Structure 1
Amino acid sequence: MNIGFRVFPVENRVDKRIVEEFQNVVTPHISDNMSRLQGAISDLRPYHKGGKLVGTALTVKTRPGDNLMVHKAIDLAQPGDVIVVDAGGDTTNAIVGEIMQRIAKKNGIAGFVIHGAIRDSLAFKHDSFPIYAKGVTHRGPYKDGPGEINVRISLGGMIINPGDLIVGDEDGLIVVPIENVEEILQKVKIQAQREEEIFQSIEQGTVDRSWVDSTLKEKGCEIFSTSESLISSEGH
């Protein structure tokens, strides 16, 4: 077995109905319901004009500066897949540019996540086709390999398996394991409803803020009135 230079299939994909429902879910709600530990670090940022990234992960692990296996991933990907590339976080050479963007978009691919650099950034900036990356450089890639497709990868603090759900918006990226997507979807719906009720209470002037002082008291914070503060300062 040629470890480090292999191509595997995606065994399972998230149901299209669930993918569609996650189009209306914001990443903070997903993060809140996954202990705030599953999201990517902030240096993976969107470079497209705007628009949600939601789809099934097709993973690529490649050596820094080489995109041969990313080209193969584009040919393998099904409509709705997100090509997620661990290129080691190196930004010396770009992994994806406008030609690959156009092919991917034509093929119905949902977007790219690149733990590395892109180029032709202006083409992405003026297009809603989603792409997240670590940086930009004019220096192009090599096409020699090695690399692997559809293996477990790690990037930006996330562990991603082929078939997991990738969600990205203006606040960043997050992965939801395929076995947990339905559970998380139900939880974020409840949270969204709860926040909507809070928004309404804010507008009505009935929002309950007593938790702030209760938390401070519980943690041992001393709160003085103005006169008490003056007396205390004068005593010192």
Structure 2
Amino acid sequence: MINHRPASLDEHLLAAWNQIPSAHACDCMGRLSGSIGLRAYHGDANLVMCGMAITVRVRPGDNLMIHKAMLMAQPGDVIVVDGAGDLSQAVIGGLMRTTALARQLGGFVINGAVRDLNEWAEGTIPVYALGHTPRGPSKTGPGEVNVPINCAGMAVQPGDLMIGDADGVVSVPRDRLESLLDEVKEHALREENIRQRNAAQGGDEDRINELLRSLGCPV
């Protein structure tokens, strides 16, 4: 099954979310959404990812539908692949990176393996994967494009927003982008206040004691 690309996300929302750390987004979604086990292979800890998800489900070790998804994607889109966590064959490599750069894609999130690590380590385009192997893929299918998937512990719908940084990747539901943005900004202010108190006082005894009392622990 190959479904159409979702409508593009609002450019102003994308620009705003591009400044949001993945940890802050995760905190504001109940600390339940966020990648598990992914490793960044792009060699630049300062490189961030922020783009709309083009989702792909593939048979382990096969990348035919990933190629199709890349051809459907627009600049800035992120290819998100459910490869069933298989590490026996890589589903993306250096040749696909060349295509992605030419098409100005926003990155890759792979619930599976990559190869050609030296090329990915040159940076420019973010890539997160569970692991790597020199063993290459097949191109016989089957697979699906733009369907709901599970990727590295995240439920991802086509058209969701994918943000990634040195901490990992978070999928933000498309219908929560506006409302959650305000929450994330407020959360960032709270954390900055805590950071300043910690730096000035070596910790915030009042805050910790209040938390302990709320849990029934006398202090």
Structure 1 counterpart SS, 2:15: helix
| Structure 2 match to 1:27 | 22
How many residue pairs end up in the alignment? Answer: 217
Query: Where do 1:72-91 residues align within 5 Å?
Result: 72-91=68-87
Give CA-to-partner distance per residue, 1:90-128, whole Å, 9 cap, x none: 010000001101111110100001110000011111223
One-letter amino acid matched to 1:109: L
How far the C-alpha of 1:206 sits from its partner, in A, is 9.1
How far the C-alpha of 1:52 sits from its partner, in A, is 0.4
Selected match of 1:45 from 39, 43, 47: 39
One-letter amino acid matched to 1:100: M
| Structure 1 match to 2:62 | 66
Selected match of 1:10 from 2, 5, 11: 5
One-letter amino acid matched to 1:30: A
Q: Given that residues 13 and 164 in structure 1 are in contact (C-alpha distance below 8 angstroms), is that contact kept between their aligned partners in structure 2?
A: no
- The reply to whether residue 126 of structure 1 matches residue 122 of structure 2 is yes
Identity across the alignment (%)? 42
| Structure 2 match to 1:140 | 136
How far the C-alpha of 1:220 sits from its partner, in A, is 4.7
How far the C-alpha of 1:197 sits from its partner, in A, is 2.5
Change (3 A) 1:220 1:190: closer
Structure 2 counterpart SS, 1:173: strand
Cα distance in 1 for partners of 2:211, 2:124 equals: 43
Cα distance in 2 for partners of 1:137, 1:95 equals: 10
- The reply to whether residue 112 of structure 1 matches residue 108 of structure 2 is yes
Q: What runs of 5+ residues in structure 1 fail to find an aligned partner?
A: 1-5, 224-236
Q: Given that residues 105 and 125 in structure 2 are in contact (C-alpha distance below 8 angstroms), is that contact kept between their aligned partners in structure 1?
A: no
Cα distance in 2 for partners of 1:24, 1:161 equals: 22
Q: Given that residues 162 and 171 in structure 2 are in contact (C-alpha distance below 8 angstroms), is that contact kept between their aligned partners in structure 1?
A: yes
How far the C-alpha of 1:13 sits from its partner, in A, is 2.9
Q: Given that residues 118 and 133 in structure 1 are in contact (C-alpha distance below 8 angstroms), is that contact kept between their aligned partners in structure 2?
A: yes
Cα distance in 1 for partners of 2:206, 2:52 equals: 42
| Structure 1 match to 2:154 | 158
How far the C-alpha of 1:207 sits from its partner, in A, is 6.4
TM-score (ref. length: structure 1): 0.87
Cα distance in 2 for partners of 1:163, 1:219 equals: 40
Give CA-to-partner distance per residue, 1:22-64, whole Å, 9 cap, x none: 11110111011100111111x1121112200110000000000
- The reply to whether residue 209 of structure 1 matches residue 205 of structure 2 is yes
- The reply to whether residue 175 of structure 1 matches residue 194 of structure 2 is no
How far the C-alpha of 1:184 sits from its partner, in A, is 1.2
Structure 1 counterpart SS, 2:196: helix
How far the C-alpha of 1:211 sits from its partner, in A, is 2.5
Cα distance in 2 for partners of 1:12, 1:177 equals: 14
One-letter amino acid matched to 2:210: S
How far the C-alpha of 1:161 sits from its partner, in A, is 0.6
Larger Rg: 1
Change (3 A) 1:207 1:221: closer
Cα distance in 2 for partners of 1:211, 1:7 equals: 52
Q: What runs of 5+ residues in structure 2 fail to find an aligned partner?
A: none
